[in-house]
Structure 1
Amino acid sequence: MTSGPHTVTAPAAEEHALRLRLKPKGPTTGYVDGAWWPRSADLVGELPELFAVLAVRLGRIERVTFHLGDFSEPPRRIVYDGERVRLEGFRAQRPGTVTVIGASDRHRVTLLTVPSDTDPDVAHDVQMTAAHRDNTDTVETLRDRLK
């Protein structure tokens, strides 16, 4: 990973919607809190839109963890909304997941990441399944549905 913070900004009004589905707030069930379908493997380029939505649930974003093989090599830190956010890749993290952690109370959201080149109908179905309130499928089961 490269070092040094990179500044990213909240997105302006876009012509495309963020491809994210979250379970409703409430007691957590299952292995993921929803699913995210980024448009590319450029994690730094994709995070501002994701942060803009997740900040409503998590407050200030402090950290993002991901599987090292899932994204292009990002820097260790970025600056978002004037605050430093740590980006930490781990080989031990389940492939196909991203965890976004808030600064207050360390609340977190773990998302299944749908590869950017996934067929739109398949991606939509998997996102809806992952975000269903009672879904308890494992990450592996959800990823198998992407094939």
Structure 2
Amino acid sequence: MADSRTPPPPDAGRLPSAVHHAVKPGTALLRLETTQARDHVLDGAWWPRSRDPAAELPALVSALTAHIGPITRVGLDAAGWDELPVRLVIDDRVVHIDSFAVGDDTVLVTRGDRDHFSLLVVPPYADPDAARAAIAQALRADNITGAEQILVDTGTGHSA
């Protein structure tokens, strides 16, 4: 059993080196599980380049669709984004955009009727090292920390 006072290894909380350096604005990373029950706080992370959903969502939805199947809805907090459309046509499919007071640090993605994924949203202006640390924390299988606290803990915060 490890001593809780033992400092974590130097790479704790970091993505593998090759991935860590490749992560930049416009990146979406997911932790996909093979079980039906996903009881983690977050299923992945997304680092958009801007707060323009019409510019950012097509790439996210296309990437998700390629890995988990067709996305039917995306939930965003309208307060954290520029003009939120009601729907977008992405890859010849209509994706409904819902406004939820989930916080601008979270995006909810729906596959089918009721299969929801919750992703941490790293602010576009985030410092790259802080953003990578936030993404790594969100992807940890043992993560129990919510999106807002992850951003606070890693210094990515809410100031533009």
TM bucket normalised to smaller: 0.7 to 0.9
Between the two structures, name the one with larger relative contact order (CA 8 Å, sep ≥ 6): 1
TM-score using structure 2 length = 0.73
Output the amino acid matched with 1:141.
Q
Deviations 1:12-70 (A, max 9, x none): xxxx8841221241442432111100011111111121112211343111110011111
Deviation at 1:133, TM superposition (A): 1.4
In 2, are the aligned partners of 1:34 and 1:130 still within 8 Å (CA)?
yes
Q: 2:128 aligns with which of 120, 133, 139?
A: 120
1:11 is matched with none
Deviations 1:108-132 (A, max 9, x none): 2111101000001110111011011
More helix by share: 2
Instruction: Point out 4+ residue stretches in structure 1 off by more than 2 angstroms.
Output: 26-30
Output the amino acid matched with 1:108.
H
Q: Quick one: distance in 2 between partners of 1:106 and 1:59?
A: 13
In 2, are the aligned partners of 1:101 and 1:108 still within 8 Å (CA)?
yes
1:78 is matched with 88
User: Which residues in structure 2 correspond to 1:60-99 (within 5 Å)?
Assistant: 60-91=70-101, 93-99=102-108
1:49 is matched with 59
In 1, are the aligned partners of 2:74 and 2:98 still within 8 Å (CA)?
yes
User: Which residues in structure 2 correspond to 1:103-118 (within 5 Å)?
Assistant: 103=112, 106-118=114-126
Larger Rg, first or second structure (1 or 2): 2
Output the amino acid matched with 1:86.
H
Q: 1:41 to 1:17 in 2, by over 3 A?
A: closer
Gaps of 5+ in 1: 1-15
Q: Quick one: distance in 1 between partners of 2:126 and 2:147?
A: 16
Deviations 1:48-107 (A, max 9, x none): 21112211343111110011111101210111122211111123x23311011112x532
Structural RMSD (CA): 1.9
Aligned length: 130
Q: Quick one: distance in 2 between partners of 1:122 and 1:17?
A: 12
